[in-house]
A and B are shown apart, each in its own frame.
Chain A
Amino acid sequence: MTTTLAQQPAASAAPKQGAAVGDSGPVETGRRSTTAALALARTAAARAGSGLWKAAGILAFLALWELGPSYLASASTRVFLPPLHVVLAAWGKLFESGTIQAHLAASLTRSVSGFGAALVAGITLGLLIAWYGKLNSVLNPLLELFRNTAALALLPVFTLLLGIGEESKISIVAYAAFFPVLLNTIAGVKTVDPLLIRAAKSLGLSSLALFRKVILPSAVPTIFTGIRMAGTASILVLIAAEMVGAKAGLGYLIVNAQSSFLIPDMYAGILTVSLLGLAVNFLLVGLERHFSRWRTAVGSGS
């Protein structure tokens, strides 16, 4: 590839694949946008194809859920594992009455506040720790200790100290989301290619510019991985916290439905939780991809 390119004058060595640039000036922009649209359509088609395959697994699972309880399970099991259409009907009813929305809103408020606080604190502290080596050596053992203490193990402590109100739930979500963000921020800054730092220094960048223009951008993908992990962790912990003591929220909905023997409602709650989890992950993956576009290796997708 390199060889063939090298033999031609560089300017005409543009690959055939459309988006490349030639020697024409403004005309190029128009052509580029049409090729871009074409490429977009092509990827959309390809995605639809692979989407069908991916959907196959889910469809099979849903079919099993629908048919399994009716035909395979005993009558007593069927009570605890209602078929899909019963669950969906329960979900519809809960939605109509606005119950689902209320619980979802309660959960979302908590997770967004806790998650947001964790992001701000985790990234700021992570950057500081990574930048000041001394701070790192002091704090590292402590961080290791906290990180390896499961957040849920601390739930009673949070409840004792902050009560069973919103504060304790937001705090435990923040706590659970904090460590992935913090540790990944530190790792992201620490693993910046030293060659890039040398290059930046040789270009005369001040330490502040070095941090802003080299260290931060190259740490962004790693930080986003942490954010994604934090998103998963915060939902997990929130649901658990809501199950233990709350008057609203999806976790409460699930536990309450179970204890009131409203089994289809319980499954409707669980379904909502997994949809919420999916949505959050989808959003964060999208953001992550957006901020690490430059990382895409040649030949992977596109």
Chain B
Amino acid sequence: MTAKISLRNVTKQFTVRAGKGSRPSQPAATGQRGPKEPTTLTALDSLSLDVRDGEFLTLVGPSGSGKTTLLDLLAGLSTPTSGEVLVDGQPVTGPGKDRAVVFQQYALFPWRTASANVSIGLEGRGPDGRKLNRRERAAKASEYLELVGLAGFEDRFPHELSGGMKQRVAIARSLAYEPDVLLMDEPFAALDAQTREQLQDELLRIWRATGKTIVFITHGIDEAVYLGQRVAVLSARPGRLKAIVDVDIPDRDGEDDIRSHPAFVEQRHKVWTLLHDEVRLAQDAGHRKILPDGTAPDEVPGTTLERSAA
């Protein structure tokens, strides 16, 4: 068992300007300070976590628990205040071609066609020091667009694509330069339920086909259990690793709806219980992404609101 990614006692703090509404309950404020003095906010506190090579790890935690912060560290978009982030045993010093990020808001370049978006990561020198020419890049882009089910959409601009299609393009873009690790930050959160389920299945298919290591952030417990081999649960801020749940569901590839399989229900409940207290804590601190009953308002569009209205 080799660790593809290791986090060793990673702490990340931010310096924030204390606003007018800074409450005394905030643990970050230390000592007696003027209202305009900057304070430090601990987003991640001494977190250690290993991700195996080729593993699909999902990460859940209340809003504000530092999931995005953690992903930024893995991507090399920021550096830890203390501790180490290792990929393949090497400390992460910045973004690299061995890792790719998929963002919730797609982050496609609107002035580039789908094909040009996918090939942007191929425009520099490859690992062998060779530059691909335009034709080779286009061919590769088509190949990856086909992989995500968008063959024939090469010349579309992002504004001509639906949300689900945009996210497919974003996934193709991150896969195109062949990274080992895929870092995904709530990639399906903005999509409707059907599109989300469809993309979940396609992601699993791609993962099986390519053997990438995937770290997938979500606030949907169902999604976490459905996708992940393991589910890492973060505590409310400051983010610590609360628990790791091994997801063990037999006949995952069966024809039946595994979401109603007893094993799935059990694992889901386990994660839900772990999250329950944390969500309440986070909610008291003003975050409202996951409700105490474990559902997220935007996970099943409309239903939560309708239920409470009825």
Chain A residues close to B by CB (< 8 Å) = 1-3, 5-7, 9-11, 14, 20-23, 195-196, 198-206, 209, 213-214, 217-218, 220, 293-298
B121 in contact with A203 (CB, 8 Å): yes
B150 in contact with A10 (CB, 8 Å): yes
A10 in contact with B165 (CB, 8 Å): yes
B109 in contact with A6 (CB, 8 Å): no
Contact of A202 among B77, B149, B162, B192 (CB under 8 A): B77
A294 in contact with B111 (CB, 8 Å): yes
Query: Chain A residues near B151 (CB, 8 Å)?
Result: 11, 23
B103 in contact with A195 (CB, 8 Å): yes
A203 in contact with B95 (CB, 8 Å): yes
Q: Report how far A248 CA is from B68 CA in the complex, Å.
A: 65
B155 contacts chain A at the CB level, 8 A cutoff: yes
Contact of B168 among A10, A22, A199, A200 (CB under 8 A): A10
B152 in contact with A195 (CB, 8 Å): no
B153 in contact with A21 (CB, 8 Å): yes
Q: Report how far A201 CA is from B95 CA in the complex, Å.
A: 7
- How far, in Å, is B190 (CB) from chain A's closest CB? 10
B75 in contact with A202 (CB, 8 Å): yes
Q: Report how far A297 CA is from B158 CA in the complex, Å.
A: 10
- How far, in Å, is B146 (CB) from chain A's closest CB? 9
The prevalent SS among residues of A at the interface is helix
B107 in contact with A198 (CB, 8 Å): yes
B293 contacts chain A at the CB level, 8 A cutoff: no
B215 contacts chain A at the CB level, 8 A cutoff: no
* Cβ-closest chain B residue relative to A12: B152
Query: Chain B residues near A200 (CB, 8 Å)?
Result: 109, 120
A2 in contact with B192 (CB, 8 Å): yes
Chain B residues close to A by CB (< 8 Å) = 75-77, 95-97, 99-101, 103, 105, 107, 109-112, 120-121, 123-124, 149-155, 157-160, 162-165, 168, 173, 177, 191-192, 194-195, 198
Q: Report how far A3 CA is from B197 CA in the complex, Å.
A: 11
B153 in contact with A213 (CB, 8 Å): no
Q: Report how far A299 CA is from B235 CA in the complex, Å.
A: 44
A218 in contact with B111 (CB, 8 Å): yes
Q: Report how far A175 CA is from B23 CA in the complex, Å.
A: 51
Query: Chain A residues near B112 (CB, 8 Å)?
Result: 294
Q: Report how far A58 CA is from B110 CA in the complex, Å.
A: 38
Q: Report how far A293 CA is from B157 CA in the complex, Å.
A: 9
Name 12 interchain pairs, CB-CB below 8 A, sorted by A: A2-B163, A2-B192, A5-B162, A11-B151, A196-B109, A198-B101, A200-B109, A206-B124, A214-B109, A218-B109, A295-B110, A295-B159
Contact of A10 among B76, B149, B194 (CB under 8 A): B149
Q: Report how far A214 CA is from B150 CA in the complex, Å.
A: 24
- How far, in Å, is A299 (CB) from chain B's closest CB? 10
* Cβ-closest chain A residue relative to B157: A294
B109 in contact with A217 (CB, 8 Å): yes
Given contacts A6-B194, A21-B153, A202-B99, 18 further A-B contacts (CB under 8 A): A1-B162, A2-B164, A3-B194, A5-B165, A7-B194, A10-B149, A23-B151, A195-B107, A198-B107, A202-B95, A202-B101, A204-B177, A205-B124, A213-B120, A213-B123, A214-B109, A217-B109, A298-B160
Query: Chain A residues near B163 (CB, 8 Å)?
Result: 2
B107 in contact with A6 (CB, 8 Å): no
- How far, in Å, is B195 (CB) from chain A's closest CB? 4
Q: Report how far A166 CA is from B198 CA in the complex, Å.
A: 68
A294 in contact with B153 (CB, 8 Å): no
- How far, in Å, is A89 (CB) from chain B's closest CB? 50
Query: Chain A residues near B149 (CB, 8 Å)?
Result: 9-11
Interface centre among A2, A7, A204 (most CB of B within 10 A): A204
Contact of B195 among A6, A202, A203, A298 (CB under 8 A): A6
Interface centre among A9, A199, A294 (most CB of B within 10 A): A199
- How far, in Å, is B33 (CB) from chain A's closest CB? 27
A199 in contact with B101 (CB, 8 Å): yes
Query: Chain B residues near A7 (CB, 8 Å)?
Result: 194
Q: Report how far A218 CA is from B123 CA in the complex, Å.
A: 18
Closest 8 CB pairs of A and B: A199-B107, A21-B152, A10-B149, A202-B101, A6-B195, A294-B111, A203-B121, A2-B162
* Cβ-closest chain A residue relative to B149: A10
Query: Chain B residues near A10 (CB, 8 Å)?
Result: 149-150, 165, 168
B77 in contact with A198 (CB, 8 Å): yes
Query: Chain A residues near B152 (CB, 8 Å)?
Result: 11, 14, 20-23
B110 in contact with A294 (CB, 8 Å): yes
